[in-house]
Amino acid sequence: MKYRTQMEAAKKGIATKEMKIVAEKENMDVEILRERVARGTVAIPANIHHTSLDPEGIGEGMRTKINVNLGVSGDCADYKEEMEKVRMSIGFGAESIMDLSNYGKTNTFRRQLIDFSPAMIGTVPMYDAIGYLEKELVDIKAEDFLEVVEAHAREGVDFMTIHAGINRRAVDSFKKSKRMTNIVSRGGSLLFAWMEMTGNENPFYEHYDKVLDILCRYDVTISLGDALRPGSIHDSTDAGQIAELVELGALTKRAWERNVQVLVEGPGHMALNEIAANMTLQKRLCHGAPFYVLGPLVTDIAPGYDHITSAIGGAIAAASGADFLCYVTPAEHLRLPDLEDVREGIVSCKIAAHAGDIAKGIPGARDLDNRMSDARRRIDWEEMFSLAIDGEKARKYFESKPPAEKDSCSMCGKMCAMRTTNRILNKETVELYGGV
């Protein structure tokens, strides 16, 4: 029986090889997974041309996945450094990499990335349109945008952010809301500018069926971009954000009808007390589609530390139902991140995702924590380093100020609580002055 996409196969009762791999990774019955892919509550982004892919599932009952953004800009066009970021991301176990390059002819780097990466690859074709087409924004036609979408799909991109929800109705709501930070989505702002300068409807909304036809041909998952996501906690959950979310819910169903898998993107910046409600609202309005969130960043006053503001929000979002977290680095709002920024962003995002999985009760989520706790009880440093998210950093800290006694650290020394309790339970004496 033939099929074009993972969703079409699932609807026909076929468990693809990608579904079988994901089911094994998630310790899930493959029939349960297949049914969720058929309903759209799980997506397995897997372009037919991405042959190096190690597939992952995103959505209901899955571990929370993380995405790493990278790519060159006009001010920083070092593809060698970007590939180093790719290697680091894969080494830390990131499930997804988005190439957000927006300068020059980006397809050479993107093809190298797709050939190399076992992680799923995402792009935002809108970013690439100016350089790819070599036209000013106002001169780009609707069919030109579709040409870029097809080029990315043909190269092997697994999912694409398409800002199809910022149509005329959503723009009207945005204008009436009088935001403090207006539109902070790069792709969304470019589409808004194009719509205002040309007087036309959003081409991705107007020609949505043609977009879906392209994506279906290559089995590309559509990630419905949140062009009107809040860029400050002041603007969160306003009329513009919700108006677009309503549009995304309708677009989700249209994609599923054509057997195209869907992710829905979400905020952004948001106060702690609004996060859980927003996760529930998205799941309701978008029919349980997997939710992909940037952060949310829970305060606006921490430039240089936004990997922390994002991790706080991301943990709450994941615990409340978000399925996919986009990392944020310390360089957010300030500059293109370097390798160390990327490392900090990945680790903080993995912490948030894992904390969310524990809260959601994902099977096996606590296993590593229990093993770490047991290693701490036994004061087995090598095992602790092997279990840590960033074992290299943990070892570096420990060895920078080594303890006099191997069964302690330099903070507590002989007064280590684990050491003391272990010795007493082993019927040994505890001597703090001069003893061992």
The answer on whether 364 is annotated among ligand-binding residues is no
Amino acid at position 280, single letter = T
The answer on whether 269 is annotated among ligand-binding residues is yes
The answer on whether 127 is annotated among ligand-binding residues is yes
Q: Per-residue DSSP letters for 158-194?
A: SEEEE--S--HHHHHHHHHH--SS----HHHHHHHHH
The answer on whether 433 is annotated among ligand-binding residues is no
The answer on whether 201 is annotated among ligand-binding residues is no
Q: Which residues, 6 or more positions from 99, have their beta carbon under 8 angstroms from its beta carbon?
A: 70, 71, 106, 109, 110, 113, 121, 122, 123
The answer on whether 163 is annotated among ligand-binding residues is yes
CA R_g for the chain: 23
Q: What is the 3-state secondary structure (H, E, C) of 238-262?
A: CHHHHHHHHHHHHHHHHHHHCCCCE
DSSP character for 415?
G
The answer on whether 186 is annotated among ligand-binding residues is yes
Q: Are 242 and 179 in contact (CB under 8 A)?
A: no
| Helix, strand, coil fractions of the chain, as percent rounded to 5 | 50, 10, 40
Q: Are 40 and 64 in contact (CB under 8 A)?
A: no
The answer on whether 103 is annotated among ligand-binding residues is no
The answer on whether 409 is annotated among ligand-binding residues is yes
Token pair for 182: 């207006």
The C-alpha atoms of residue 187 and residue 312 are separated, in whole angstroms, by 26
The answer on whether 286 is annotated among ligand-binding residues is no
Nearest CA to 65 among 330, 270, 326, 278? 326
Dihedral (Cα; 169, 172, 176, 177), 10-degree rounding:
60
Between strands 42-43 and 324-326, the pairing is: unpaired
The answer on whether 153 is annotated among ligand-binding residues is no
The C-alpha atoms of residue 265 and residue 317 are separated, in whole angstroms, by 12
The answer on whether 366 is annotated among ligand-binding residues is no
User: What is the distance, to the nearest Å, from the Cα of residue 126 to the centroid of all Cα atoms in its chain?
Assistant: 19
Partner residues linked to 185 by β-bridges: none
The answer on whether 187 is annotated among ligand-binding residues is yes
Binding site, by residue number, is 69, 98, 127, 163, 185-187, 226-229, 265, 269, 292, 333, 409, 412, 416
Known binding site for Zn(2+): residues?
269, 333
Known binding residues for [4Fe-4S] cluster are: 409, 412, 416
Which residues participate in the annotated binding site for substrate?
69, 98, 127, 163, 185-187, 226-229, 265, 292
